[in-house]
Chains A and B, each alone.
Chain A
Amino acid sequence: NAGVMQNPRHLVRRRGQEARLRCSPMKGHSHVYWYRQLPEEGLKFMVYLQKENIIDESGMPKERFSAEFPKEGPSILRIQQVVRGDSAAYFCASSPASGAMYEQYFGPGTRLTVT
């Protein structure tokens, strides 16, 4: 059973470009979480999605950031008009359901560098 897949692993964008990060959850998992890890900091929750629905986006910046989890295909985190402060590691996690008894399995992350 493959783990959570994220691609690309490394992404370099110039200021003003768009960044698109992909996350394929583990087989059988329909719940996806996105977290951001700034340098030398812990992970911060961004958004929680189920198939075709955003359940909680309380951690998402109000502008330039969006996320989706379509019926078919991976979850996408999109950052428009990137700025240097967006440079971070973005981690996706998946679980089979919601609740503390269900472990969140993390992907290897996408490291975004904005130049």
Chain B
Amino acid sequence: GDSVTQMEGPVTLSEEAFLTINCTYTATGYPSLFWYVQYPGEGLQLLLKATKADDKGSNKGFEATYRKETTSFHLEKGSVQVSDSAVYFCALTVTGTASKLTFGTGTRLQVTL
């Protein structure tokens, strides 16, 4: 079946540090890939997405590149802020599966001053 594996957290960084959160996947078909962010007490918000190999999704300084050869979609940001503290979920959907999302377990990021 389809699955997503994320690095375990929590990840603790100082403000302005470089962020990488690893994500790898297995899929029964050709997946589209997503990163979602969840702030405390809230629902998930789509952060970025990529729908085909070598696509780069980007938003709010975050980036992730769809790497088919390594089945990866790592999230990066050059300089994190305290306001980036949240839980980040990598997810995929496969065409023909009614667009249901398969999520990783989430990575909690804490950014300190």
Binding site for B on A (CB under 8 A): 4, 6, 31, 33, 35, 40-45, 48, 55-56, 59, 91, 93, 95, 98-104, 106-109
Contact = CB atoms under 8 A, between A and B. Distances in A.
B14 interface: no
B88 to A, nearest CB: 11
B51 A42 contact: no
Contacts of A48: 98-100
Q: How large is the interface on B (under 10, 10 to 19, 20 to 34, 35 or more residues)?
A: 20 to 34
A56 B98 contact: yes
Contacts of B102: 45
A59 B103 CA distance: 13
B42 interface: yes
B44 A91 contact: yes
A43 B89 contact: yes
Contacts, number: 64
B103 A106 contact: no
A99 B99 contact: yes
Contact of A45 (B46, B89, B100): B100
Given A56-B100, A109-B42, 14 more contacts: A6-B43, A31-B99, A41-B106, A42-B103, A42-B106, A43-B44, A43-B101, A48-B98, A48-B99, A55-B98, A56-B97, A93-B44, A102-B99, A103-B46
A19 to B, nearest CB: 19
B26 to A, nearest CB: 15
B110 interface: no
Contacts of B105: 40-42
Given A42-B106, A100-B51, A59 B100 contact: yes
B45 interface: yes
